[in-house]
Amino acid sequence: MKLLGATRRADATPHASALIEGLRDIGYSLETAVSDIIDNSVTAAARRIELITETHSEDPYIAIVDDGKGMTEVELIAAMRPGSQNPLAARDKPDLGRFGLGLKSASFSQCRRLTVVSRKQGQTCAAVWDLDDVAEMNEWAVQLPDQFTGISAIEHLGVNGTLILWQKLDRLTGGVAYNAAKRAEIINQRIAETERHLRLVFHRFMEEAKPLQILLNGRKLLSLDPFARKSPLTIIDPEERLALAGGEVEIQSFTLPHHKQISRMDWEDIAGPEGHLKSQGFYLYRGKRLIVYGTWFGLCRQSELTKLSRVRIDIPNSMDADWKIDVKKSSAQLPTIVRERLKKVIERIQAGSKRTYSKRGAKLVDEERLPIWNRIQADGNISYRPNIEHPAFASFAKTLTPELRRGFVNCIALVGASLPIETVHADMAGTAEQIVPDVLDEDALAQAVHATLSALSGAGKGIKEIISLMKDVDPFRSAWADTQRIIDATIETEEKR
**DSSP 8-state symbol, 4:** S
pLDDT category at 4 given cuts 50, 70, 90 is: low
With beta carbons less than 8 A apart as the criterion, state whether 68 and 160 touch: yes
Does residue 3 register a pLDDT over 70?
no
Nearest residue to 216 via CA among 231, 197, 230, 233: 197
pLDDT category at 98 given cuts 50, 70, 90 is: very low
pLDDT category at 497 given cuts 50, 70, 90 is: low
In this prediction, residues 34-54 reach a mean pLDDT of 95
pLDDT of residue 180: 78
If one compares 356 and 373, the residue with the highest pLDDT of the two is: 373
With beta carbons less than 8 A apart as the criterion, state whether 262 and 233 touch: yes
pLDDT of residue 353: 54
With beta carbons less than 8 A apart as the criterion, state whether 117 and 163 touch: yes
Give the domain ranges of the chain: 16-220, 235-362, 369-496
Vertex 156 angle, CA 155 and 161, to 5°: 115
With beta carbons less than 8 A apart as the criterion, state whether 478 and 437 touch: yes
Nearest residue to 166 via CA among 116, 217, 216: 116
CA torsion 201-203-205-210 (nearest 10°) is: 160
With beta carbons less than 8 A apart as the criterion, state whether 103 and 164 touch: yes
pLDDT of residue 68: 96
Q: What is the DSSP string of 149-182?
A: TT-TTGGG--SSEEEEEEE--TTTTTT-TT-HHH
Written out in words, the top-level CATH class of the domain with range 235-362 is alpha beta
pLDDT of residue 424: 76
Amino acid at site 455: A
Q: What is the rounded CA–CA span in Å between residue 97 and residue 155?
A: 27
Helix ranges (DSSP H) in 165-257: 180-201, 203-206
**DSSP 8-state symbol, 143:** B
pLDDT category at 77 given cuts 50, 70, 90 is: very high
Tens of pLDDT, residues 379-419: 777 788 888 888 878 888 888 898 898 888 888 888 888 88
How crowded is residue 295: how many other Cβ atoms within 10 Å of its Cβ? 18
Q: What is the DSSP string of 45-107?
A: T-SEEEEEEE-SSSS-EEEEEE-S----HHHHHHHHSTT-S-TTS---TT----SS-HHHHHH
Nearest residue to 167 via CA among 103, 119, 116: 116
Q: Does domain 16-220 have CATH number 3.30.565.10?
A: yes
Tell me how far CA of residue 404 lies from CA of 15, 241, 411, 414, in angstroms: 90, 67, 11, 15
Could you tell me whether strands 123-130 and 113-120 are parallel, antiparallel, or unpaired per DSSP bridges?
antiparallel
In this prediction, residues 308-322 reach a mean pLDDT of 88
Q: What is the pTM of this model?
A: 0.73
